Structure 1
Amino acid sequence: MVNIIHPVAGGIALLTIATFWLSTALGELFGPVSTVVAIKSAIPWGFLLLIPALAATGGTGFNLSRGRRPKLITTKIRRTAACAANGLLVLVPSALFLAFKARAGELDAVFYGVQALELVAGAVNITLLGLNMRDGFRVKGRFRRPANAHRTINEGV
């Protein structure tokens, strides 16, 4: 069961963060102020999906890695810790602050400064989660190249 929960929860977490990021970027670039306010107000509600997905991903990941610590798994654990710190120290406070400012109609320089910080931190987390997903596939042996994949046509397969 853990083998199913881990990738599903990780996929949900990655898709949720990517949705937050894309909706913010597209709303800011192409949407009216009302769209920005709606997006910034909705993102904290998305935490009700994101936080349990991240917790399930982390918990099942530690469970799956129990007794094994090859370099790939150690790297995934370090990335997960960085992702969690980034989320707790930058992304969640930023999202709550931006939702408050948006609902108050205060889309000022401070709002956009925090918005820029949030977009950078979000891109970092998307990258870290994507790398962890890639390495998870490697640990499971998915996308492994066949033994003779390195040969070229000239070598005569």
Structure 2
Amino acid sequence: MLKRLHLTASMLALFCIATFFLSTILVETMGARQSIAQLKHLIVSPGLWVLIPTMVLAGASGMLLSRSRQGRLVGAKKKRMPFISANGLLVLVPCAIALNLWAATGRFDMWFYIVQVIELIAGAVNLTLMGLNVRDGLRLSGRLQRAIPHGR
């Protein structure tokens, strides 16, 4: 049950961040300012109301699952998690809230786009780290085998 909870929460959190990231790129390149403002609002509410609890569930269930396990993959996942959490809480959430407030008032100035770039970079970093954690989790569960180089 705990493994299923961890897998579900982890994949939902990864899906949320990927959706926020891709939709931001699409609306920034093809959308009007009203579309950008609407997306920023949706990312904050209901987006953060889904993302934050799933991140907490993924982290807590991962810590519980790792109590009885050791090894390189578990250690790598444990090392990534504080950075993923800090990046999310200290960079991504404040950026999302600020961008939502600015977009709601029509403030699409230089600072809006600087914060937007920061948010996209932080989102890409978290997507990468979370993707590595998913890969390592699948290896730990036996669902993903390590590739064996040819010639061996």
Closer/same/farther in 2, CA of residues 117 and 150 from structure 1, 3 Å limit: closer
Q: Which residue of the partner structure matches residue 29 of structure 2?
A: 29
Q: TM-score, normalised by structure 2?
A: 0.94
Q: Which residue of the partner structure matches residue 121 of structure 1?
A: 122
CA displacement at 1:60 relative to structure 2: 0.7
RMSD after superposition? 1.6
Deviations 1:96-151 (A, max 9, x none): 000000001100000000000000000000101000000001111112269xx766
- What is the DSSP-based 3-state SS (H/G/I as helix, E as strand, rest coil) of the residue aligned with 1:105? coil
Q: How does 1:68-107 map to 2 (within 5 A)?
A: 68-107=69-108
Closer/same/farther in 2, CA of residues 108 and 9 from structure 1, 3 Å limit: same
How far apart, CA to CA, are the structure 2 residues paired with 1:15 and 1:68? 26
Q: Any gaps of 5 or more consecutive residues in structure 1?
A: none
Q: Which residue of the partner structure matches residue 49 of structure 2?
A: 48
Q: TM-score, normalised by structure 1?
A: 0.91
Large movers: runs of 4+ above 3 Å: 149-152
Q: Which residue of the partner structure matches residue 137 of structure 2?
A: 136
Q: Matched residues, percent identical?
A: 44
How far apart, CA to CA, are the structure 1 residues paired with 2:150 and 2:109? 58
Letter in 1 for 2:106: G
Equivalenced residues, count:
151
